[in-house]
Each structure stands twice: as structure tokens, then as C-alpha cells.
Amino acid sequence: MSIDGILNIIKPAGMSSFAIVSMVRSASGQRRVGHAGTLDRSAGGVLPVCLGRATRVIEFMSDVHKTYRAKVRLGVVTDTYDADGSVVEESDCSSVSREQLERLIPSFVGAIEQVPPMYSALKVGGTRLHKLARAGVEVELKSRQIDIYRIDLTCWEPPHFSIDVECGKGTYIRSLAYDIGRALGCGAHLAGLIRTRNGVFDIAEGFTVGQVRDAFAEGRWRDVLQPIDSVLQHMPAVVVDKPAEKDIAHGVPADLNVDGGRDTGWCRAYSADGGLIALLRYDVKRGNWHPQKVFI
């Protein structure tokens, strides 16, 4: 039996994202399993995991807002920018005040340039950066534009402070911690990280690894599974009749009247009984909708 849907799993710190996928694959008996939005092994929090046909919408789950709760340690810089790395620099941070930090934080909000950490999964010449770093290969990294929508200082207990960060895709909270420390003149690294939200998935509504494993073992997996279209609500939807449903299922372009569809370029097509048929993309030149991902 095919199980299709999305799990909102709360990944524990110390467990890799790949290990979570392996657990779900084993517990569910499904071959097609993938996660949306990798979390470092040392980080915890929301990790959406897609099963079956839901793996086909992972590409639509990357460009979403994410929220993190980060703990930063001032005065100590590591080579990985987090607590897992080796200390490369130590400085006196006793002169840094809360007021100084509060004045600095707004400069990191908005569309900013950020250099990714050397110890990351990004690839240069087909090789992941963390592999190059461990091999001692020096690479000149270029900055990238990222979007940070909000940073709230939630705790000040020097040499530590905590912030809540809402950001867009491609943001490295480790780099943010490093950059804040550099701007303060004392250095810093990320001491702890929890992702509290990933798109539509919130940590308050998530399930632990144990709860997910038990749900599959006891046949209650529907209780923890979100439908495929839970991450597609930003796309306009249209209900089609039986002839159009048959054509779309076979990849035939359709003439559909979709409110706002041409603006987004995508739409969801449903059958009369509410079943998701396909995702279609608008062809500007031909003036019709082409099935891109068919789910029936």
C-alpha cells in the first residue's frame, strides 16, 4: 500500500536528517521518503518528511519562511561556526552590552549579503564544502543575498544571548552568529539551534521520533500524516469535470479558468470528490495549462 503525505517531525539534536528519513522509511515500509530542509546534526526542531507521491512536491517547500531559536556564545570562534567545531579564536567579550547588541541587530534584517560557512553541504566543483574543509583545501567563498525578516533578542545572559530569527531560504544561522560576533569585535559561535517553524509546519504541532514510530507500528499513521496539498495552498485551485480529469491524468493540456492562476504560473486541479489530480503550469504562448505533476 502506498502511503502519501507529509510528516511534521521534531528532530532531536544529535540525530542527522538522513537518520530521520531512514527511520521513517523503515517504520512505514515506504521506499520513497525524503526530507524538506536539512537540519545540522547538532540542531533540533521541525523537519518535514515526505512519503510516497508527496516527495514530488519537495521542490515547492524550499522557498518558504523558516523560524529559528538560536543561542549564541560570545568571545569564542570555531572553524564550523558552531559548538561542534574546533576553537580557532578566543576574545574578551565582557565589554559587550545588551544595548550594543540591540543597536546592532537591525543591521542584519532585510536583504543582506551572507558568506556561507566552509563546513556546509554546499558544493564547489561538485564536491561538498565540508569535505574540502576536512581535506584542508582552501576555497574562496562568495557572498549570497539572503532575506532575514525578523530578529528578536529573547535572552541576554553574557557571554550567551538568544535570538528568534525568521528568514528565507539559504540562510545559515551559524554564519549569522559568526557575523554578529565579528561586528561586535569579540567573535561568536552558534551554541544551540532549534527550528520552530518551516513554512506551514510549526513545532507546537509536530511529532517526536517515538510518536511517529509508534503511529506506524500501531497502524495509526493517518493521525500524524498531513495531506500532500497542505504545502500547496499558495497555488490557486480549480475543480474539473470527468473528461478534463481524464485528459489531465494522461498529460493532455487543458483550457481552465483559474482565478489568479496566470499570476502564479501554477494551479492545483481537483476532482469533484475533492481528490488532488495534478499540478499544472500555465503556458503563456499557447494560453493553456500543462500537467506537470500528476497524482492519480
The reply to whether 45 falls in a domain is yes
What is the pLDDT at residue 261?
Answer: 62
The mean of the pLDDT values for the chain is: 91
Report pLDDT for 262: 66
Q: Residue 166 falls within a domain, yes or no?
A: yes
Amino acid at position 67, single letter: T
Residue 44 has pLDDT above 90, yes or no: yes
Same domain, 18 and 81: no
Nearest residue to 224 via CA among 232, 212, 210: 212
> Hey, what amino acid is at 107?
S
The range of the structural domain enclosing residue 146 comes to: 67-190
Is 122 domain-assigned?
A: yes
| CATH, residue 263 | 2.30.130.10
Residue 185 shares a structural domain with residue 258: no
**Contact in structure between 119 and 81 (CB atoms under 8 Å):** yes
Q: What is the CATH number of the domain that holds 221?
A: 3.30.2350.10
Dist. CA 209–CA 73, nearest whole Å? 29
Given 133, 166, 190, which residue is the final one in a domain? 190
Q: Which of the two residues, 8 and 138, has the higher pLDDT score?
A: 8
> Residue 114: what pLDDT?
94
For residues 74 and 139, membership in a common domain is answered with yes
Give the catalytic positions in this structure: 40
Q: Output the pTM of the full model.
A: 0.91
Output the CA torsion 70→73→76→81 (10° steps). -10
> What pLDDT band is residue 133 in, cutting at 50, 70 and 90?
very low
Is 195 within a domain? no
pLDDT for res 8? 98
Q: Are residues 153 and 76 in the same domain?
A: yes
- The answer to whether residues 96 and 176 belong to one domain is yes
**Residues 148-202 pLDDT 10s:** 999 999 999 999 999 999 999 999 999 999 999 999 999 999 999 999 999 999 9
pLDDT computed for residue 121 by the predictor: 57
On whether both 126 and 218 belong to a single domain, the answer is no
Residues 96 and 186: beta-carbon distance below 8 Å: yes
Q: How confident is the model at residue 45 (pLDDT cuts 50, 70, 90)?
A: very high
Per-residue pLDDT tens digits for 188-245 = 999 999 999 999 999 999 999 999 999 999 999 999 999 999 999 999 999 999 999 9
pLDDT score at 132? 46
Name the range with the highest mean pLDDT among 65-74, 111-120, 259-268, 285-294.
65-74
Query: How many structural domains compose the chain?
Result: 3
Instruction: Give the whole-number percent of the chain exceeding pLDDT 90.
Output: 78
**Residue 176 forms part of a structural domain:** yes
- pLDDT computed for residue 125 by the predictor: 53
Clarify whether residues 27 and 49 are in a common domain: yes
pLDDT for residue 260 is more than 60: yes
Written as one string, the DSSP assignment of the chain is ----EEEEEEEPTTS-HHHHHHHHHHHH--S-EEESS---TT-EEEEEEEEGGGGGGGGGGSSS-EEEEEEEEETEEETTSBTTS-EEEE---TT--HHHHHHHGGGGSEEEEEPPPSSSS-EETTEEHHHHHHTT----PPPEEEEEEEEEEEEEETTEEEEEEEE-TT--HHHHHHHHHHHHTS-EEEEEEEEEEETTEEGGG-B-HHHHHHHHHTT-GGGTEEPGGGG-TTS-EEE--HHHHHHHHTT--B----TTHHHHSEEEEE-TTS-EEEEEEEETTTTEEEEEEE--
